[in-house]
């Protein structure tokens, strides 16, 4: 036994009835691509710590990069539920694949579209949407992760250009990026966004090696040593932490959908294995302890699906709050990592083998539960929202 193609998605509460025909068509299309392009090779790339060749252009071909960006800038002009569904299907393949699309869409294309000049939008967005240009996002620093307000990366005005210095780390796609959207402080201490392009002198992107997680994805640093950034590369329409935090809100929303895909992959594999694997003369799915696990998996997946669907409705209506998005990211990632760990037990020793996805998903989700705000930080965001008291200070 090995990878099981998914013929039906768990839909215990008939959520499909709440989706449009377009949503269902998008899901079927992306699912088919994942099963043909990602599933057959993902274990090999994760084991060998290599990324999937031509991944970004393939994602561009299926419309998974910036799908909510208007068509005039190369996007598909889809709604937020469509974006979530795409992220869910991609992460069923692997968190590294969803991360690549999520970073490109929410952390690179989103700020250029929302805060960039018309010239920046026309120059960068169509290529990013096609996957012919790869972007990365620089906020986290070696000394500042959960506290971005203390960032040390800075730039100064030199008349006809800005001079940028500093470093960012834990950056998805940094070793292969063509541009990076960087958040740095100006001379007044205000956080601003800059588009740094590959080839600018003093800009380097060292690779982060020896990861146990997201092994089918390139991770690295962004290092700036007296980098001359043209003034036209400053994002003109945003100042302050609202800029990067709004990007994180978009990314966290995509993650909250994406991890459902990882959980579904683990649940469906465990369910089918449990029906086929026989011990003591009958399928192990017939034993109470295994049924308890499977019932809990389906319950948690269903709750996460409904949470994301309503959050998507709020996003479409421009009513979703950062705290609501934070809750969904925290809840759903914890749900997914718990299912990955527990479903591995149903498979026994086979659960640690590369032919099955549980260990790979569990390892990936250790990164997902940490990036875009740790589990504990998201608890404090909810706590502050319901009490009105800031526990960060």
Question: Is residue 372 among the annotated active site residues?
Answer: yes
Between the alpha carbon of residue 187 and those of residues 115, 160, 270, the distances in Å are: 20, 16, 55
State the residue for tokens 């969803």. 98
CA–CA gap between residue 256 and residue 2 (Å, rounded): 27
Angle in degrees, 0-180, between the axes of helices 95-102 and 242-276, rounded to the nearest 10: 160
DSSP secondary structure of 298-333: HHHHHHHHHHHHHHHHHHHTT---HHHHHHHHHHHH
Say how far apart CA 182 and CA 136 lie, in whole Å.
Answer: 8
Burial track 6-44 (b if 16+ CB lie within 10 A, e otherwise): beebbeeeeeeeebeeebeebbeebbebbbebbbeebbe
Which pair of tokens denotes residue 177? 């990026």
What the block records as the tokens of 197 is 């392009």
CB 147 within 8 Å of CB 115: no
The tokens describing 60, both together, are 């561009």
Catalytic residue among 89, 91, 141, 372: 372
What angle in degrees, to the nearest 10, is found between the helix axes of 95-102 and 80-93?
150
Report how far apart, in Å, the C-alpha atoms of 355 and of each of 15, 53, 120, 247 are.
31, 21, 44, 36
- Residues annotated as catalytic are 372
């Amino acid at each position: 036994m090995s990878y099981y193609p998914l013929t039906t998605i768990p839909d215990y509460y008939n959520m499909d009835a709440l989706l449009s025909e377009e949503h269902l068509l998008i899901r079927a299309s992306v699912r088919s691509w994942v099963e043909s392009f990602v599933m057959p090779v993902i274990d090999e790339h994760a084991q060998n710590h290599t990324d999937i060749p031509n991944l970004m252009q393939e994602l561009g071909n299926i419309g998974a990069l910036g799908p909510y960006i208007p068509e005039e800038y190369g996007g598909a002009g889809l709604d937020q539920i469509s974006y979530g569904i795409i992220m869910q299907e991609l992460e069923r393949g692997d968190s590294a694949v969803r991360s690549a699309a999520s970073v490109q869409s929410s952390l690179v294309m989103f700020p250029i579209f929302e805060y960039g000049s018309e010239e920046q939008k026309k120059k960068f967005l169509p290529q990013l949407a096609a996957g012919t240009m790869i972007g990365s996002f620089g906020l986290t620093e070696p000394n500042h992760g959960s506290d971005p307000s203390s960032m040390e990366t800075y730039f100064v005005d030199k008349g006809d250009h800005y001079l940028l210095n500093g470093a960012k780390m834990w950056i998805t796609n940094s070793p292969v990026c063509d541009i990076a959207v960087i958040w740095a402080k100006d001379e007044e201490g205000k956080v601003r966004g800059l588009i740094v392009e590959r080839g600018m002198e003093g800009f380097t992107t060292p690779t982060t090696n020896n990861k146990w997680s997201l092994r089918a994805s390139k991770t690295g640093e962004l290092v700036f040593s007296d980098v001359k950034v043209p003034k036209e590369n400053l994002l003109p329409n945003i100042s302050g932490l609202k800029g990067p935090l709004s990007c994180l809100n978009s990314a966290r929303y995509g993650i909250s959908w994406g991890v459902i895909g990882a959980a579904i992959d683990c649940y469906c594999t465990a369910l089918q294995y449990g029906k086929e694997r026989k011990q003591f003369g009958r399928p192990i799915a017939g034993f109470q302890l295994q049924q308890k696990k499977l019932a809990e998996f389906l319950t948690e997946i269903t709750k996460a699906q409904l949470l994301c669907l309503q959050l998507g409705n709020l996003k479409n209506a421009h009513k979703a709050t950062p705290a609501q998005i934070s809750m969904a990211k925290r809840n759903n990632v914890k749900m997914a990592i718990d299912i990955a760990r527990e479903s591995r037990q149903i498979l026994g020793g086979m659960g640690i083998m590369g032919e099955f996805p549980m260990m790979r998903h569990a390892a990936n989700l250790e990164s997902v539960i940490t990036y875009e705000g740790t589990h504990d930080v998201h608890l404090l965001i909810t706590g502050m929202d319901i009490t009105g008291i800031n526990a960060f200070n």
